[in-house]
Amino acid sequence: MMPTTRMLGGLCCAAALLLFNACASMLNPGKGSVQVNSEPSGATVLINGAEVGLTPYTLSYVKDMGKEVTVEVRKEGYQPRTVAIRATESGGVLFADAMLLGIPYIFDGRSDALYKFAYTSVDVSLYKALPEDLQRVDLPVAPMENAIGGGRLGKVGSRTIDLSSKEAYDLKYPDMATASVIRGFQGSWLDARGVRLGTTKGDEQVQRAKFYLRPRVKGVRIDTKEKDHLANGSVEVDMEWVFHSAIRKDSVLFKVEQTTRHLVFGTSPRELITVGVEAAARRLLEDPTLNERLLAAYGAGLQMAKGTELNLPRPVPIAFNGRKEMLAALVKGVVTVETKNGHGSGFLVTNDGYILTNAHVVENDALVKVRFHQGFALDGQVVKVNRDFDVALIKTPGADLPSLAIGDDAGLMLGEEIFAIGTPLDEKLGQSVTRGIMSGRREIEGRSYLQTDVSINPGNSGGPLIDENGKVVGVATLKISAKGVEGIGFGVPISKALEMLNIRFAQ
């Protein structure tokens, strides 16, 4: 049996009716639009790279924009921000289209009305552009302190957030929050790193930097709406940035109290506090005086480490006739420094018993035993230590002691001969002499070193590096010790050692 004309006509009418009823452009005549806001407002908005207007700006969707629209916000003096927002197709309309054999899609597929943005507003906070010519500062950051007593932290959608909520995870684990602070400092003039005070490595980093930062979070106010498990709104964080001196860890150099409001858009609720703290850290850098204050604190710390100026009498150095006698004579000015835990080397820089050595030789001892080449031993008092540069000064009683002459390390040529005298490995090997050449000048972690292939072994530390003229050009300090590595030793230049102990010789 063939279909009747009436049947086909009815079919066509039904299809036409459904076709027109299902068109997205008829069902959904409003275009998808989103409001682009910035703090501060008046920023230029670029959509997919093309400038379109100033914030607050209402962006209407046009299909040519593609499904992912890049919104860039720029303002003079501020760092640009870029966010991507997705335009989604109306699944319900497409489903209806498919059920109607896809025929309405011919119209809907080209219609802007089929698409809408997932959000009604895009809110971005802009941060001031940071000057690039500022001197870099090393900043150890101690774990963040949570000074929020308790109570409500705000809301995410209809949920109330407090310290026990999973969104406040970072506040329970200070290391996580500290990582947010460090992220906030990234790309700036601050070289921030997390440290644990009370550990050897942490204390060393703090010592070197001269100060450290302990962030304190005093309050958090979250006000966001939630859509598709993502939060949009604002996070306000009250921070107290406490800069402590490295010399006395409980002393406070200065504090910065700050409240930062950060606009969030499409952020996971679990990252709200992270993002808020990161934004607060970023905002701290906008303080124009911070760099200057930290550099001043570093200078003060450096000065404190050097101690007060010490004027020493210019010594009468050991005399010798020609190079043949030189080393045999100079060993008299080199001593073995015995501590509770071992021994090292040192050398006399005055005739009245001032001895230069490494800080790591004397460690934390105030009194050491100094054994001379001539066979006698005297008690030595550690009078100055600069751990930053690993140099120390010991004073022993006595007069007319054999002192070495201070040379000019700046005039040392590459390849020039260098001698080391010291007590390697065992005290029985006292005043051993080794020879090498000047291999180069190095900067390691901000400290100057003379590189040499002269043999430096445990016990040699603190001994003199002597040039071809019999004058001290450096303090043997360390060597690189690894399988397959030989002949890479380092000494502190004598000029630096004297400078860092603030020693002057009378004219």
Partner 1 sequence: MIARTFRGLLSIAAITAAVAVQAQANGVRGIFPHFDKTFTDISAFKRWGVGIGYDHQTAGPIAFGVEFQAPVLDLEGDGPYGDTRSFSHQGYEASYYSKLSSWTVLYRASYFVSNDGSGFYVGSFLGVRHVKETLTLSHVEGPNYVYDQGPFKGLEECKGLVFPLGIRFGVRGEMDGWYQDLYFQLGYQIGGGELSYASSFMDRNAPQLSGITYGLGYAFGVGW
List interacting residues with partner 1 (CB under 8 A): 1-5, 7-8, 11-12, 67, 89, 91, 94-95, 97-103, 105-106, 109-110
Residue 391 CB coordination number (10 Å): 27
Tokens of 151: 């109570």
What is the C-alpha to C-alpha distance for residues 339 and 394, in angstroms, rounded to an integer? 12
Using the minimum distance from each CB to partner 1, give the nearer residue, 100 or 437. 100
What is the C-alpha to C-alpha distance for residues 346 and 391, in angstroms, rounded to an integer? 10
Give least dist CB 230 to partner 1, A: 18
Tokens of 408: 């000019």
Using the minimum distance from each CB to partner 1, give the nearer residue, 105 or 241. 105
Using the minimum distance from each CB to partner 1, give the nearer residue, 23 or 498. 23
Give least dist CB 238 to partner 1, A: 43
Give least dist CB 104 to partner 1, A: 10
Give least dist CB 269 to partner 1, A: 25
Using the minimum distance from each CB to partner 1, give the nearer residue, 94 or 394. 94
Give least dist CB 29 to partner 1, A: 19
Give least dist CB 22 to partner 1, A: 12
Using the minimum distance from each CB to partner 1, give the nearer residue, 106 or 296. 106
Can you tell me whether residue 404 is helix, strand or coil? coil
- Whether a cis peptide bond, with omega within 30° of 0, leads into 317 is no
Give least dist CB 150 to partner 1, A: 44
Q: Which residue has the tokens 């709104």?
A: 233
Q: Which residue has the tokens 């102990």?
A: 501
C-alpha pair distances (Å), 389 with each of 346, 353, 434, 447: 16, 22, 24, 7
What is the C-alpha to C-alpha distance for residues 67 and 474, in angstroms, rounded to an integer? 67
Using the minimum distance from each CB to partner 1, give the nearer residue, 102 or 288. 102
Provide the pairing of β-strand 137-141 with 81-89: unpaired
Task: Decide if 135 contacts 291 (C-beta within 8 A).
Answer: yes
Q: Give, as one character, the DSSP assignment of residue 472.
A: E
Give least dist CB 164 to partner 1, A: 37
Q: Give, as one character, the DSSP assignment of residue 317.
A: B
Q: Which residue has the tokens 């070197």?
A: 208
What is the C-alpha to C-alpha distance for residues 202 and 199, in angstroms, rounded to an integer? 5
What is the C-alpha to C-alpha distance for residues 261 and 238, in angstroms, rounded to an integer? 9
Give least dist CB 17 to partner 1, A: 15
Using the minimum distance from each CB to partner 1, give the nearer residue, 94 or 237. 94
Tokens of 166: 């999973």
Give least dist CB 5 to partner 1, A: 7
Using the minimum distance from each CB to partner 1, give the nearer residue, 12 or 84. 12
Closest CA to 151 of 215, 221, 216: 221
Instruction: Give Cα 7 distance to the centre of its chain.
Output: 79
Using the minimum distance from each CB to partner 1, give the nearer residue, 115 or 212. 115
Q: Is the dihedral of CA 31, 37, 41, 46 positive or negative?
A: negative
Phi then psi for residue 492, to 5 deg, are -80, 130
Provide the pairing of β-strand 211-227 with 145-146: parallel
* Full DSSP string of 184-249: HHTTSSEEEEE--TTSHHHHHHHHHHSEEEEEEEEEEEEEEEEETTEEEEEEEEEEEEEEEESSST
Half-sphere exposure of 240 (CA within 13 A, CB side): 13
Using the minimum distance from each CB to partner 1, give the nearer residue, 106 or 377. 106
Give least dist CB 46 to partner 1, A: 24
Using the minimum distance from each CB to partner 1, give the nearer residue, 88 or 289. 88
Give least dist CB 61 to partner 1, A: 15
Using the minimum distance from each CB to partner 1, give the nearer residue, 12 or 319. 12
C-alpha pair distances (Å), 394 with each of 29, 244, 263, 362, 370: 88, 30, 59, 9, 9
